[in-house]
């Protein structure tokens, strides 16, 4: 590979295209807000995780050494986080399902991890659970109280947003507007309606609680990510990702409390993916009850990687509308690439790239390096497959692009080309029939192979085949 090209990203803080300059190159500290494990992670959530995954892969493709942390929120996320009210989402699920909060969190964490594997997400280097970092959260809250940015009231601790002059810079909100639009519950003890909870005192029937200097209680959602990222990555990190729905209040509050505690910038580059919408542009969300899961995709005959491919058809900063017809069309496009790779692999080995192939590779890299323009990158992959490049170089380019796309081009090419001994014998007999121009026998053997799930095609290079049964009905864990 040639020397790495510059990587440019849109920083949500300022909304400008900026060249990525890590704090300690070539090391990159990357934090991704992970799931709150009270229910199934839906495919709208997974759009944000696929984006973070391709960002990490792009960094590694360009020679950076990434340390990736993606947390599990297993306490503290309220049903109305903007107003700091409502039940903890995990406790609410536990009561509804007649389970302990710990069992709820464990079950949905395992489901999330399974679905992440189906979508080819790289495992983070560390996946901390919020409940394992309570001590670090309490210490961070103590620092904020000592510095005058937080205050205790009736066993709760609140962050005073008016003590942080640039509060709202990430989301575009003003403190005055938040105060005007907020509601404060009677007796809550806040100094300002816009202040947010760092620690909440536990009600008598609270199932999850920890001792603290202020009360037996639980941390606020926002303080969790600050404490975990500081402990695992440092007080200043390179990139923080999430969906646009995380910008406010979650990431705005993370930034405020972290920078107030340390006096240093918390994140160099904030990056956010847009929402997945459904129907008439409606947000896909659990609260609206309009979600689909990875299992729903599989049950409808959609391969999980076809959904990954589908998300690449729009830029990560652009809303994407989900319909079954659209994801089925994406699956057709991905299956065609897999089948083309299978046909190539039956008569070619990967070979070094020539000058023309290197131009394609360079175009692909430049396109991805400019704020992850994966829709254009996919178009280049399709250009490669339609080109007159030698088959071995096409395979080499597919393999190279898959370092970022993670669509299993060569893995699926091998799977689609795999036949058993009897099927291999049938293919050999059919080839011999065609050589002697016995078209009737050739057609009969084609039908026999089709009954076994092997589709045979005649090309100028000879007969080629794909295992149709693998692309027509994906297995539970993916083909």
**Cα 288–Cα 477–Cα 426 angle in degrees, nearest 5:** 135
CB atoms near residue 19 (< 10 Å): 9
Instruction: Please give the chain's pLDDT, 479 residues, in tens.
Output: 456 689 999 999 999 999 999 999 999 999 999 999 999 999 999 999 999 999 999 999 999 999 999 999 998 666 554 545 557 888 888 888 888 889 999 999 999 999 999 999 999 999 999 999 999 999 999 999 999 999 999 999 999 999 999 999 999 987 777 665 555 543 468 999 899 999 999 988 888 999 999 999 999 999 999 999 999 999 999 999 999 999 999 999 999 999 999 999 999 999 999 999 997 677 777 767 788 999 999 999 999 999 999 999 999 999 999 999 999 999 999 999 999 999 999 989 999 999 999 999 999 999 999 999 999 999 999 999 999 999 999 999 999 999 999 999 999 999 999 988 999 999 999 999 999 999 999 999 999 999 998 899 888 888 889 888 776 544 444 43
Q: Which helix (H) or strand (E) holds 146?
A: helix 134-146
Residues with Cβ within 8 Å of 125's Cβ and at least 6 positions away in sequence, in order, are 66, 67, 68, 69
CA-nearest of 351, 167, 192 to 259 is: 167
Ordered by where they begin, the domains of the chain are 8-273 (3.40.50.620), 294-416 (1.10.730.10), 418-472 (no CATH)
Q: Is the pTM of this model over 0.85?
A: yes
Distance (Å, whole) CA 35 – CA 124? 13
Q: Which residue has the tokens 């892969």?
A: 57
Q: How many CB atoms lie within 10 A of CB 248?
A: 17
Q: What is the pLDDT of residue 471?
A: 65
Q: How far apart are CA 242 and CA 223, in angstroms?
A: 16
pLDDT at 207: 86
* Residue 148, phi then psi, degrees to nearest 5: 85, 10
Q: Which residues contact 14 (CB under 8 A, 6 or more apart)?
A: none
Q: What is the DSSP letter of 73?
A: B
Q: What is the pLDDT of residue 76?
A: 65
Question: Helix count (H) and strand count (E) of the chain?
Answer: 17, 17
Instruction: Give the pLDDT confidence score for residue 183 in this predicted structure.
Output: 52
Q: DSSP letter for 163, please.
A: G
Q: Compute the half-sphere exposure of residue 470: CA atoms within 13 Å on the CB side of its CA.
A: 21
Half-sphere exposure of 475 (CA within 13 A, CB side): 6
Predicted confidence at residue 83, as pLDDT, reads 47
């Amino acid at each position: 590979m040639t020397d790495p090209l510059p990587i440019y990203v849109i920083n949500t803080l300022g909304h400008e295209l900026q060249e990525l300059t890590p704090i300690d190159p070539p090391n990159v500290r990357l934090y991704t807000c992970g799931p709150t494990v009270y229910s199934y992670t839906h495919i709208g959530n997974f759009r944000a995780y696929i984006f973070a995954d391709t960002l990490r892969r792009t960094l590694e493709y360009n020679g950076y050494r990434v340390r990736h942390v993606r947390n599990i929120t297993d306490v503290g996320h309220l049903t109305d986080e903007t107003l700091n009210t409502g039940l903890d989402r995990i406790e609410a699920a536990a009561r509804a399902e007649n389970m302990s909060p710990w069992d709820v969190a464990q079950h949905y964490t395992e489901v999330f991890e399974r679905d992440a594997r189906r979508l080819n997400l790289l495992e983070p280097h560390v996946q901390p659970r919020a409940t394992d970092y309570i001590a670090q959260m309490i210490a961070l809250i103590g620092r904020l109280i000592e510095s005058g940015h937080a205050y205790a009231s009736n066993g709760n601790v609140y962050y005073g947003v008016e003590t942080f002059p640039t509060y709202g810079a990430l989301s575009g909100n003003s403190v005055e507007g938040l105060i005007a639009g907020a509601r404060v519950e009677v007796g809550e003890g806040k100094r300002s309606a816009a202040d947010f909870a760092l620690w909440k005192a536990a009600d008598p029937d609270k199932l999850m609680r920890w001792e603290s200097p202020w009360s037996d209680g639980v941390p606020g959602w926002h303080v969790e990510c600050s404490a975990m990222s500081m402990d695992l990555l440092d007080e200043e990190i390179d990139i923080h990702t999430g969906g646009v729905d995380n910008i406010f209040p979650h990431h705005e509050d993370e930034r405020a409390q972290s920078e107030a505690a340390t006096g240093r910038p918390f994140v160099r580059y904030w990056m956010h993916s847009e929402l997945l919408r459904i129907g008439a542009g409606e947000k896909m969300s659990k609260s609206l009850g309009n979600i689909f899961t990875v299992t729903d995709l599989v049950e409808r005959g959609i391969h999980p990687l076809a959904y990954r491919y589908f998300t690449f058809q729009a830029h990560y900063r652009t809303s994407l509308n989900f319909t079954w017809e659209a994801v089925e069309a994406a699956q057709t496009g991905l299956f065609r690439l897999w089948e083309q790779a299978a046909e190539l692999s039956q008569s070619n080995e990967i070979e070094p790239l020539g000058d023309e192939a290197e131009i394609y590779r360079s175009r692909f890299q430049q396109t991805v390096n400019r704020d992850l323009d994966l829709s254009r990158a996919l178009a280049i992959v399709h250009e490669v497959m339609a080109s007159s490049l030698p088959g071995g170089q096409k395979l080499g380019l597919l393999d190279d692009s898959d370092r970022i796309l993670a669509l299993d081009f060569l893995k699926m090419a091998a799977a689609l080309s795999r036949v058993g001994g009897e099927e291999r014998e049938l293919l050999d007999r059919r080839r011999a029939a065609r050589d002697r121009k016995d078209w009737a026998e050739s057609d009969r053997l084609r039908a026999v192979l089709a009954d076994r799930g092997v589709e045979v095609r005649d090309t100028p290079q000879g007969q080629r085949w794909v295992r149709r049964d693998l692309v027509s009905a994906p297995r539970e864990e993916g083909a």
